[in-house]
């Protein structure tokens, strides 16, 4: 019987995530044993004897404060402290490693001496030690490189800085600039009528979703120089991968939106453009893609995309339609269409949106040129 009681209590101690285990839990465990006709008094007496024996065997510690930590009615402690020799030894070893890293590392004086000693986790301190080594041996006039090149040099992992490109390391206390590197977003294909930013300054960008229309728009813009550049927005399709009804888009969807918008910002910076117009398919997914892009941009305080209503108008007027895809019905939101297209164009679109769709490939280069010539700049 003694062995059963010992095993039951040790098992209950081991099952607890906390070292402080209430005796009520241990009493519940022994009452499940085949203990026969024992009174509460006998159970509590036997439990106390077992706890004292386990304390001698260094499996637990009883509280020393008899007044606050023991119960007069039962004579039992309110709790015991589990002794976990291996875990405690590991914890002590980790604490020594942490203390050594904090206080015995020769921290770089400009940045790391104020950061390193205050870090709390082993992962942070190991990362800080790697950064420290780079900063201590960096040349007087270091060359700035893309962030993944620097990450591979410092951490042996080219993606190690990806999650810090906006916030910086160590709670924002160390920027990429301090590591002599810069965020290099995934590029979006684009074609500018000139690579001289003095020629493209102040002109908007035009983003289109499909490859064939991208080619036609590039041809039209080469003739008219209406836009600073035409951008192939292939990455934006992933923004509509999840339905609007989901409360939280998954990490992959958010990442796609982030990368696509970073690519756009890079083009804007290179060409010194102003404003972004968007032209996609006239169907539920095409409008929904634009909605998801703008929702991301609004959340991140970025200027919204503008619908190129002149091109949408030309697409509806030419009326080269295809049968609607029944699977697109789940993304059909009339209110979004009205917001994106405006009430007049949306009215024309919504009349037949349930039965047909208008792919943007309905417009040729000549159609696009004609629409842009009519365009006054207020789409």
Cβ(24)–Cβ(74) below 8 Å: no
Question: Which residue's structure tokens are 């004609």?
Answer: 370
Answer yes or no: are the C-beta atoms of 82 and 13 closer than 8 Å.
yes
Identify the pLDDT of residue 144: 94
Main-chain dihedrals φ then ψ at residue 105, nearest 5 degrees: -80, 135
Q: Does the structure show a pLDDT above 60 at 139?
A: yes
* 201 has pLDDT over 60: yes
The number of C-alpha atoms within 13 Å of 355 and in the hemisphere containing its C-beta is 2
**pLDDT over 50 at 246, yes or no:** no
Backbone angles phi, psi at 354, to 5 degrees: -75, -15
In the 8-state DSSP scheme, what is residue 245? T
- Among candidate residues 52, 41, 39, the one with its CA nearest the CA of residue 2: 52
Bridge partners, 192 (sequence order): 229
Classified as helix, coil or strand, 15 is helix
Question: What's the pLDDT at 334?
Answer: 95
pLDDT for res 1: 55
Confidence of residue 253 (pLDDT cuts 50, 70, 90): low
What was the pLDDT predicted at 193? 93
Q: Inform me whether the pLDDT recorded for 379 exceeds 80.
A: no
Q: What does the alpha-carbon distance between residue 94 and residue 370 come to, in Å, rounded to a whole number?
A: 71
Q: What is the pLDDT of residue 15?
A: 86
Q: Where are the beta strands (DSSP E) in the chain?
A: 20-22, 60-61, 79-82, 145-146, 181-182, 190-192, 205-208, 229-232, 276-279, 306-307, 322-323, 356-357
Predicted pLDDT at 365:
96
Query: 3-class secondary structure for 166-214?
Result: CCCECCCCECHHHHCEECCCCCCCEEECCCCHHHHCCCCEEEECCHHHH
Answer yes or no: same fold for 2-83 and 190-374. no
Arithmetic mean of pLDDT over the chain: 88
Mean pLDDT on 274-279: 95
Q: Confidence class of residue 62 from pLDDT cuts 50, 70 and 90?
A: very high
Unique residue bearing structure tokens 């006709």: 37
pLDDT in tens, 292-311: 889 888 988 899 999 999 99
Confidence of residue 269 (pLDDT cuts 50, 70, 90): very high
Question: Token digits for 146?
Answer: 């893309």
pLDDT, tens only, 317-329: 999 999 999 999 9
CATH classification (class only), 190-374: alpha beta
Q: What is the pLDDT of residue 255?
A: 62
Stretch 66-84: mean pLDDT: 87
- Give the containing element (helix H, strand E) for 116: none
Name residues whose C-beta falls within 8 Å of residue 155's C-beta, 6 or more positions apart in sequence: 127, 130, 161
Q: Give the per-residue pLDDT at 238.
A: 47
Residue 181 CA: distances (Å) to CA of 98, 126, 227, 368: 28, 20, 31, 41
More confident: 14 or 25: 25
The domain spans of the chain are 2-83, 92-182, 190-374
Average pLDDT for 359-366: 95
Cβ-Cβ contacts under 8 Å for 10 (sequence gap 6 or more)? 54, 59
pLDDT tops 50 at residue 241? no
pLDDT-derived band at 235, boundaries 50, 70, 90: low
Q: CA 198 to CA 210: how far, in whole Å?
A: 29
Q: What integer is the mean pLDDT of 134-141?
A: 93
Can you give the pLDDT at residue 247?
Answer: 41
Q: How remote is the C-alpha of 249 from its chain's centroid? A: 10
The CATH class of 2-83 is: mainly alpha
Element (H, E) at 379: none
Helix (H, G, I), strand (E, B) or coil at 159: coil
pLDDT at site 251? 56
Question: Smallest Cα–Cα separation from 227: which of 121, 372, 10, 110?
Answer: 372
Reported residue count of the chain is 379
The tokens describing 128, both together, are 């800080």
Ramachandran bin of 191, using left for φ above 0, alpha for ψ from -120 to 50, beta for the remaining angles: beta
Quick one: pLDDT at residue 268?
93
Q: Parallel, antiparallel, or unpaired: how do β-strands 322-323 and 356-357 relate? A: antiparallel
Residue 19 above 90 pLDDT? no
The pLDDT score that the predictor gives to residue 243 is 40
**Identity of the highest mean pLDDT range in 83-92, 254-263, 275-284:** 275-284
């Amino acid at each position: 019987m003694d062995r059963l009681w010992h095993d039951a209590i040790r098992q209950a101690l081991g099952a607890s995530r906390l070292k402080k285990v209430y005796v009520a839990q241990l009493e519940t465990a022994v009452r499940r044993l085949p203990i026969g006709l024992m009174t509460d008094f006998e159970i509590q007496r036997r439990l106390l004897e077992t706890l004292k024996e386990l304390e001698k065997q260094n499996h637990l510690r009883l509280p020393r404060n008899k007044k606050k930590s023991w119960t007069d009615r039962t004579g039992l402690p309110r709790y015991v402290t589990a002794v976990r020799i291996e875990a405690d030894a590991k914890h002590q070893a980790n604490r020594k490693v942490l203390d050594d890293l904090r206080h015995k590392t020769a921290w770089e004086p400009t940045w790391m001496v104020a950061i390193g000693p205050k870090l709390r986790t082993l992962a942070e301190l190991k990362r800080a030690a790697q950064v420290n080594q780079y900063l201590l041996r960096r040349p007087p006039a270091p060359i700035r490189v893309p962030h993944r090149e620097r990450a591979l040099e410092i951490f042996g992992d080219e993606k190690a800085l990806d999650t810090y490109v906006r916030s910086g390391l160590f709670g924002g206390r160390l920027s990429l600039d301090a590591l002599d590197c810069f965020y290099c977003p995934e590029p979006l294909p684009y074609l500018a009528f000139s690579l001289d930013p003095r020629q493209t300054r102040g002109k908007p960008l035009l983003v289109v979703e499909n490859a064939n229309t991208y080619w036609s728009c590039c041809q039209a813009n080469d003739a008219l120089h209406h836009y600073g550049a035409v951008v192939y927005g292939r990455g934006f399709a992933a923004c509509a991968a999840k339905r609007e009804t989901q409360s939280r888009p998954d990490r992959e969807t958010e990442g796609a939106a982030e990368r696509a918008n970073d690519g756009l910002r890079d083009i804007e910076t290179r060409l010194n453009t102003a404003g972004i117009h968007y032209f996609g398919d006239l169907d539920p997914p095409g409008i929904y893609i634009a909605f998801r892009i703008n929702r991301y941009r609004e959340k991140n305080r970025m200027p919204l995309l503008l619908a190129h209503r002149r091109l949408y108008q030309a697409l509806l007027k030419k009326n080269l339609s295809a049968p609607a895809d029944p699977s697109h019905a789940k993304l059909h939101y009339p209110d979004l269409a009205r917001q994106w297209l405006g009430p007049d164009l949306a009215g024309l679109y919504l009349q037949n949106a349930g039965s047909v769709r208008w792919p943007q490939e309905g417009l040729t280069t000549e159609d696009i040129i004609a629409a842009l010539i009519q365009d006054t700049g207020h789409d």
